[in-house]
Amino acid sequence: MAEVLRTLRLYVLLQRASARGAMQYRLNTVIGIISGAIWQGTGFAFIWVVMHTFPSLAGWGLAEIAFLYGLRLTAHALAMIPLISVNDIQWVVRNGEFDRFLLRPLNPLVQVMGNRMGISQFGDLLVGVTLLTVAGQSAHVQWNAGVIAFCFVAVVGGALIEAAFFLALCSLSLRMIDTFALRVFVDDVFSKFGSYPMKIFGGVVEWLLTFVLPVAFVAYVPASVVLDKLDNPWALATPLLGVVLIALAYLIWRRQLDHYQSVGH
């Protein structure tokens, strides 16, 4: 436990230093956050246009899909803010910079994560929380302590699910060097399919997005419960699934780390 607390403390110090470095260029930081918010705002704008053509999708109205979108986006932001620097892993490996992480007395993953903070992802978080608040009122969500607690746990669980797939794919770069295209594909599946009710896909696709690539558990399953769309017995599986998957992703990272070879070999 003492080692875990020490590692966590060092990670916080690394991220604090990264944040201070980013704030030396405050205009760039503000632009990064605004850019992230605009990018995600355009994604929701597309949904808004679609919903004006089709007022209901699988029984979901605009406010309800906005709530679903906000839940998914908030989970995505919480996953990417600490992990965004891991996205650079293939360049770190190719340039031989990963070797220095192995020489320091600190978990290499923590060092990679502490390289930089996901600034633009704070824009994602801003849009996500705003949509949750506004859409929740429009969709007549009965906010109380239980619902708030459930949404919080669901968001954390959804973040862990997305983070698990991201980390597992990034860790493959320790052996395969470049997995960027695969990571982009999986991220697109989470962002595009995860923003809509699974029922509109139906059949095999819905099953795949629930039990193979668990996109449904990030936002659809929790949102459907909060919005009284269905009494889903799988709702509480989101945080548990997130913990299991992130643990498996870390094991994959450790396994790939054992087979890492420096670019000098």
Q: Tens of pLDDT along 62-72?
A: 999 999 999 99
How do residues 204-218 score in pLDDT, each as one tens digit?
998 999 889 999 999
Does pLDDT of 230 surpass 60?
yes
Least trusted range by pLDDT, from 74-78, 103-107, 117-121, 180-184 = 117-121
**Rg of the Cα trace of the chain?**
19
Q: What DSSP designation does 213 have?
A: S
**pLDDT (0 to 100) of residue 2:** 64
The average pLDDT across 87-94 equals 86
Does pLDDT of 20 surpass 80?
no
Does pLDDT of 159 surpass 90?
yes
User: Which residues, including other chains, have CB under 8 Å from residue 177's CB and lie 6 or more apart?
Assistant: 90, 93, 94
**pLDDT (0 to 100) of residue 183:** 87
Tell me, what amino acid is at 100? R
**pLDDT (0 to 100) of residue 217:** 93
The average pLDDT across 163-187 equals 88
User: Which residues, including other chains, have CB under 8 Å from residue 256's CB and lie 6 or more apart?
Assistant: 171, 172, 174, 175
The average pLDDT across 88-101 equals 85
Does pLDDT of 11 surpass 70?
yes
Q: 191 and 198 in contact (C-beta within 8 Å)?
A: no
Q: How far apart are CA 92 and CA 75, in angstroms?
A: 27
Split at pLDDT 50, 70, 90, the class of 249 is very high
Does pLDDT of 4 surpass 80?
no
Split at pLDDT 50, 70, 90, the class of 203 is confident
Strands (E), the chain: none
Q: 44 and 66 in contact (C-beta within 8 Å)?
A: yes
Alpha-helical segments (H) within 139-219: 145-171, 173-176, 180-188, 203-211
Does pLDDT of 232 surpass 80?
no
Q: What is the pTM for the complete model shown?
A: 0.90
